[in-house]
Amino acid sequence: MMYTLLPLLLAMVSDVNGYAWMEKLAHGEPATTLDKRAATCPVHLTPQGAAPYSEYYPSKYTGARNGLPGTGKGGVLVPAANDTAHAYSPPSSSDVRGPCPGLNMAANHNFISHDGLTNFVELVDFAQNVFNWGWDLATFVATFGIVMDGDPLTSQLSIGCDGGMQVPNTGLNAHNKFETDSSMTRNDFYTSPTGDSYSVNATIFGYMNDYCNGDFTLGCMGPYMGARYNYSKQTNPNFFFGPLGLFAFGTATLPQESFASYGNAGTPSVDTIKYFWAVNRSSSDSSGWTANPGHETIPPNWYNRPTALSFAEIFAETSQLYAEAGYPAFGGNVGKTDSFVGLTFEAGGIKNGILEDPSAEGIACLFQQVLVDAVPQSLSTVLTQNPVASLFAKTKLAGIFKSFGCPAL
């Protein structure tokens, strides 16, 4: 059975018993009586598959096919004019949607399987063709999702709940993997009134909009993520911020680098960004927003980035945002809002909650450690590492981390 992240996090903590709620969750006990999110989940044992890219559009998108590199030349209209195969199609009650606005949008436009059960090749092609991410970045993000939340044996990933996955506790809705506390626009797991910590909260989106004055630049998103961290730490007695919380800082670059029309050459204004979160405004205050989760779409007359976004750029910007947030400490509360305990994960360079090297290189090597060789053998009684997941990561990421000076895979 593939490992889950919660036992891994338990292994990282210097005092395992300090996070009793995590230990309870890791052993399969209900996290809260409010957590009803796994009660029903559409099952798709045979994925529908993404809509193919028509050869009638040879100069459109970036030409990425079959998980291979595209041209990296963007600045094109998405979807292409008359490309009806990738027009918006709303999800049905049998389709899976989850916490990632970009993947929900991709499924609604059939760039990945409309049913929400996707795979490595679809993800790598979509990220290049729609957002014009570099092949290295697209490969990393696809690998990250499948290793942490999917099935490396089949290279499949549910973008929400399990969705027919053969591996339990998978799908992006699973807590503290992709879905984490103090996110940009979602509730914390233990403080959600309904147990839903994966759907966009329109009020929190309103806070983000007010904080950034409707302009979601990198200069605003770092301090905003710091404010979200502090709020969760102060109000959630079971708040936890683990190493994968840094992935949330990476996604906070999306509005400027990927969601704005023309990407970093455009303007990440709320008039464009709101389509990616499926929100609308009915009044001027932060509570005047409404959300239609799962119905994310590409804005009208939207163009992707002219130049490809690289792996190196995104890690540099993640480091920048993490610094501008005040270098939030890793760890969590232990049952009270004033009970924060720092996490120690020496193999990843974290001691007493502090990441010793918060540079782009340090963050990249931390992710490599978690993805490829997450815990030492001495902790095998707490965590059984799945060699299939490790081999999948090593195979897909071979050479990608080399430029950061990380140990060879």
Whether 246 shows a pLDDT value over 80: the answer reads yes
The answer to whether the CB of 130 falls within 8 A of the CB of 63 is no
The answer to whether the CB of 308 falls within 8 A of the CB of 133 is yes
Give me the half-sphere count of Cα atoms (radius 13 Å) on the Cβ side of residue 292.
13
Q: Please, which residues have CB within 8 angstroms of residue 372's CB and are 6 or more apart in sequence?
A: 390, 393, 394, 397, 409
What pLDDT does residue 228 have? Answer: 97
Name the percent of the chain in helix, strand, coil, to the closest 5: 40, 10, 55
What's the rounded mean pLDDT across residues 221-229? 98
Whether 6 shows a pLDDT value over 60: the answer reads no
Question: Could you identify the residue written with the tokens 């559009």?
Answer: 57
Whether 391 shows a pLDDT value over 80: the answer reads yes
Comparing 51-60, 200-209, 389-398, which segment has the lowest mean pLDDT? 51-60
pLDDT band at 408 (very low <50, low <70, confident <90, very high): confident
What's the rounded mean pLDDT across residues 312-336? 96
Tens digit of pLDDT for each residue in 295-323?
999 999 999 999 999 999 999 999 999 99
pLDDT band at 18 (very low <50, low <70, confident <90, very high): low
What's the rounded mean pLDDT across residues 14-39? 46
> 179 or 213, which is more confident?
213
Comparing 6-20, 39-53, 294-308, which segment has the lowest mean pLDDT? 6-20
> 379 or 402, which is more confident?
402
Q: Which domains does the chain have, with CATH numbers?
A: 5-404 (1.10.489.10)
Whether 381 shows a pLDDT value over 50: the answer reads no
CA angle 50, 53, 59 (to 5 degrees): 150
What's the rounded mean pLDDT across residues 189-205? 88
What pLDDT does residue 244 have? Answer: 84
Whether 277 shows a pLDDT value over 90: the answer reads yes
> 5 or 277, which is more confident?
277
Q: pTM of the predicted model, to two decimals?
A: 0.90
- Please choose, from the candidates 299, 300, 283, 281, the residue with its C-alpha nearest in 3D space to the C-alpha of residue 291: 281
